[in-house]
Amino acid sequence: MTNVTIIGAQWGDEGKGKVVDWLASRADVVVRFQGGHNAGHTLVVGEQTYKLSLLPSGLVRGKLGIIGNGVVIDPFALLAEIARLSAQGLPVTPETLRIADNAPLILPLHAALDSAREVARGERKIGTTGRGIGPAYEDKVARRAIRVCDLAEPETLSAKLDELLLHHNTLLAGLGAPTFNKADLLASLLALAPQILPFAEPVWERLAQARHDGQRILFEGAQAVMLDVDHGTYPFVTSSNTVAGTAASGSGMGPDAVGRVLGIAKAYCTRVGSGPFPTELNDDTGRMLGERGHEFGTVTGRKRRCGWFDAALVRQAVKVGGINGLALTKLDVLDGFSELKIGVGYRINGQTFKHLPAGMAAQATAEPIYEVLEGWSASTRGARSWAQLPAAAIKYVKRIEELVEAPVTLLSTSPERDDTILVQDPFAS
């Protein structure tokens, strides 16, 4: 048996939470390896709906959850999320959750700087969630981050806050935003330290032992390949690497631990925030996709932009993300359309491209080249086998496979965890 890594193959919000939850029944450990509480995974279990941002989705399945060193952690948000799940009858304890002691922290000053910058950008705003993710990663790279382990060392914490505030208060003042007081920040961090530190440990050691013992590890990515800070639609991206290789560096394991890579993609396409979206539909069809798919962000509640499936984009994600197979979600949203379109390339300044170029101007002016397919009138919702799908729906899925150059190994036909068609178990070696 092999480990499995799950990543998004579009611009995020593809339904990774349900797929992780579904696959967690076959795993022993579930690991978050990048991103922060800007990620949002919604899990529907019977009558209960869980909305997770930082916590690994496998906790809902009773699996050991690990937050790796590649994640930036807002300790206040983490404790609030733990309290919310506990109130829903799902207690989170140090026996079920472990946190990398070398993971960086997001502080209130990071969110303040994030928001102040977006305001200053005006019409050129990136569309961040304003939760401090980017500034926290900047501090990590600049070697001034406060990490989980620092909560156990008050003197270290105090000295690091001096450096951090020298940097951030200068920027905040320059942007006309309120600055932060060291005493207040120090007091709040020291107060929450006893609540966070019981979860902390060198998780790389636990993961090494789990692998030695033959346990199955499921790596859970946040956001998606086209939001990767290197490979996405820069600068309209997140602040971390979202590709499968980050599962290794973001958890403290070697690259051979990543295992089989499953890319999640909707049967159509959505995006939250600013940035290029060649197949976006600003018409009744786009509104219908949004209404049927309940397209609102799990974390922010922002309305998602909707459009046709972009096979050229997903093919690009397959190549740079290291994807071995696709999990296609929300097929049922397409029920009832007389015809469907798939983006197969782009036309930019009279030239044809099979990929989305890196240049901002090229991306902004890219016009989609479509292939038209027959739709279907019968319902696919709740289908659990290929035999329950209309022939046109099967043809649509098969055409996607051909265009993205990766097989569809799992097909989701509703938010319910068991409404899934498994073509190949990703954990099978």
What does DSSP say about strands 217-220 and 367-374: parallel, antiparallel, or unpaired? unpaired
The answer to whether 54 and 43 are in contact (CB under 8 A) is no
The answer to whether 309 and 318 are in contact (CB under 8 A) is no
Residue 412 CA to residue 200 CA, distance in Å, equals 35
Residue 56 CA to residue 35 CA, distance in Å, equals 12
Q: Does the annotation count 13 as an active-site position?
A: yes
The catalytic position among 13, 101, 310, 332 is 13
Residue 92 CA to residue 50 CA, distance in Å, equals 13
Cα distances (angstroms) measured from residue 249 to each of 9, 24, 75, 263? 20, 21, 22, 19
Residue 247 CA to residue 203 CA, distance in Å, equals 13
Q: Does the annotation count 419 as an active-site position?
A: no
The catalytic position among 21, 37, 41, 231 is 41
Residue type at position 348: I
Closest CA to 35 of 62, 6, 60: 6
Show which residues are catalytic.
Answer: 13, 41
